[in-house]
Amino acid sequence: MSKADLTEAEAANELMRLARQIARHDALYHAKDAPEISDQQYDALVRRNAELEAAFPHLIREDSPSRKVGHEVAASPLSKVTHAVRMLSLDNAFTDEELSDFAGRVRRFLSLAGDETVACTAEDKIDGLSCSLRYEGGKLVRAATRGDGQVGEDVTPNVAHVEGIPQQLQTGGEGAPVPDVFEIRGEVFMEKAAFSSLNQRLMEEARAEAEAKGAEFDAAKVRQFANPRNAAAGSLRQKDASVTASRSLRFLAHGWGAASDVPHETQFGMMQQILDWGVPVSPALVRCMDLEQMLDHYRQIAELRADLAYDIDGVVYKVDRLDWQKRLGFVAKAPRWAIARKFPAERAETTLESIDIQVGRTGKLTPVGRLAPVLVGGVTVTNVTLHNRDEIARLGVRPGDSVVVQRAGDVIPQVVENLTGADERPAFPFPDHCPDCGSEAIAEEGEVDVRCTGGLICPAQRTERLQHFVSRSALDIEGFGEKTIADFFARGWLESPADIFRLKHHREEILALDGWQDKSVDKLLAAVETKRQPDAARMLFGLGIRHVGAVTARDLMKGLADIARLPGKAAQIQSYRAESPRGEDESQGKYTARTVEAIKAILEVRTDGIGIAVGFALADFFHETHNSDVWDDLLSEVSPPPFVVETMASAVAGKTVVFTGKLETMSRDEAKAQAERLGAKAAGSVSAKTDLVVAGPEAGSKLKKATELGIEVIDEAAWAEIVSKAG
């Protein structure tokens, strides 16, 4: 549910739930090093909280996650340390546009001229544990974790065993002397290779312990670390520093806290100074002079990410000038002068909370999965397409399952794996009736999509069907735009095709609407009246019956002549279908060629384009009582004359024409109808019997085959000339 759909009460309740959820996950992550959800799922919760607070600022809670950093240190065997300068977190950007917005905010806040350079440092964002090192007189006197930003845990004995943390800063040389007090802040992390070795060692130690006790070894019960970040946090936050010493940890500096002196004027200069004092910084640290360089560096780091020895989850940017940093200051828990551009996760794990069935404008029933929010590809994903009934069966998904979601580029998010697997719960029951109108929902022979047969009575399809009914290819009634139909439908004046011919009773009401005057209303109603005796094929096409396109509608009417005969013919097909034998392969549900010929005989047509699909679609349409009611209601308002095919003498009379490629001035159905009026037969494929091929742009295999067979090929302009000369 978007924030626009929420009432204040619903927003307040969701903010309360988010505050509790995020606080719980903060405790699991920071205090216990045992997260239950992925970073992407956590980021999605935080982002949702921020969206709601932006929409309802008066509902921001005292315990809002936006006001907190990390997690309060409690029930820890380690001593507490109060930071002299708070250790803050960073705001996140997930797209190039959000990074650009950050640069724009800095410029606006500082009132900078458009041509003024805003340099920023850029460095990889290491996925580890934040740590602050306090040096007095160049000597390390205390090391502390971030904790809640204000109070952390004392890990001074432990950092003595971390590579990259000197007990004494280097002095001398050309660099600035070490200030009396200087706190270096950075990240303690474990490299990927060390992480693998640690887990392997834990497994071997557990096996050896079981053998020593004569017990059966159960690998599933061995507690191993889920990822290098957890391993680093668990290894550093040990009461016994010898445990830390037994594990391989490293440190890279990314900034500083309390300082009696800051000897440089830029972020980059200070980071180089920290390096000179003997504390390593990221080898990827650079200074970017504009947004383009910032984006380029991000892409370079993203390409190198997989080959790095340690895990990173983004790039951190900081305004380079320290005087500008001071002016920019801070918001509740993050500096205005820094931002983390996170890497998008193309895949993420989450929970499928429910499955809803949506009915599209063509009647297709599409299952949509509702997810626990998760960040995928830089976007918070809450919904995912499940495509169709067969895809649900293939994945075996049900509400409550843990799933892997994928989103690459602009592709609609989709479920790629069900992590829960089979259990005793029943499979998801895909509906056999439309959830919007209650009509039968069926999948046609050989198709996977299930569609509502409600047609013009289905709320999900009605306005689209009405738009189609008055369109140029159908009844061609001028004056009905999409907005007009939607407006009239909302007011209850236009619910079925027959209502179009009853709009004259609403003349005064239409006239009272904005944008309508006597002339425009009378013009619309006059256009309606001219269609009281519509072309039968156009009217049939306008009803939007599946598989009945403009050409098929004409083929049907050529056989039947009187459109009033159609419901009876559909009933005959329905009876035949109930009694007709299937093909030899019963499991595949195939009908024999005899069924095709029987349908053609019932419909009194000989056209190859009409067969089982068209016949059964007609049967399904008229089988629904409400569709028959719509049909009868329409015929009470209009009187289509008997259908007569009028052909003109032309250069293609008696010939077989195939249209291929993209037609730019007309639809494929319109082109086929033109060919018919010219006395030609419009075929769907090229063969030795084809006389002419009309090829538009992007023509493919049909054009190739026509060339191989030596068939005449013309373009759309040449076809238009043939049409214009016919008479």
Which residues are known to be catalytic? 125
Question: Which residues, in sequence order, are bridge partners of residue 657?
Answer: 682, 692
Task: Give CA angle at 704 (699, 705), nearest 5°.
Answer: 120
CA-nearest of 426, 415, 428, 350 to 387 is 415
Would residue 232 be called left, alpha or beta, if left means φ above 0 and alpha means ψ between -120 and 50 degrees? Answer: alpha
Cα separations in angstroms, 472 against 254, 479, 667, 670, 672: 65, 11, 11, 10, 15
Distance of CA 713 to the CA centre of its chain: 43
479 burial level (CB within 10 Å; 0-12, 13-18, 19+)? middle
* DSSP letter string, 31-79: ISS--SS-HHHHHHHHHHHHHHHHH-GGG--TT-GGG--S----S-SSP
Q: Given CA atoms 90, 95, 99, 101 in this order, what sign does their dihedral have?
A: negative
Q: Rounded to 5 degrees, what are φ and ψ at 364?
A: -70, 135
* DSSP letter string, 138-173: TEEEEEEE-TTSSEEEB-HHHHTTSBT--SB----S
- The 8-class DSSP code of residue 337 comes to T
Asked whether the beta carbons of 413 and 381 are under 8 A apart, the reply is yes
Give the helix/strand (H/E) hosting 212. Answer: helix 192-213
d(CA 670, CA 350): 48
d(CA 233, CA 311): 14
Query: What's the residue count for the chain?
Result: 727
d(CA 91, CA 333): 9
583: number of Cβ within 10 Å:
13
Asked whether the beta carbons of 453 and 441 are under 8 A apart, the reply is yes
Token readout for 580 is: 């007709």
d(CA 516, CA 502): 18
Question: Which residues, in sequence order, are bridge partners of residue 658?
Answer: 683, 693
Q: Which residues does 89 contact at the CB level (< 8 Å), separation at least 6?
A: 69, 70, 149, 333, 334
Helix intervals (H) in 285-388: 291-304, 322-328
Helix intervals (H) in 237-356: 241-245, 267-276, 291-304, 322-328
283 burial level (CB within 10 Å; 0-12, 13-18, 19+)? exposed
Q: Which residues does 79 contact at the CB level (< 8 Å), separation at least 6?
A: 153, 154
Asked whether the beta carbons of 31 and 76 are under 8 A apart, the reply is yes
Token readout for 279 is: 């504390």
Helix axis angle for 550-560 and 593-603, nearest 10°, is 70
Asked whether the beta carbons of 352 and 416 are under 8 A apart, the reply is no
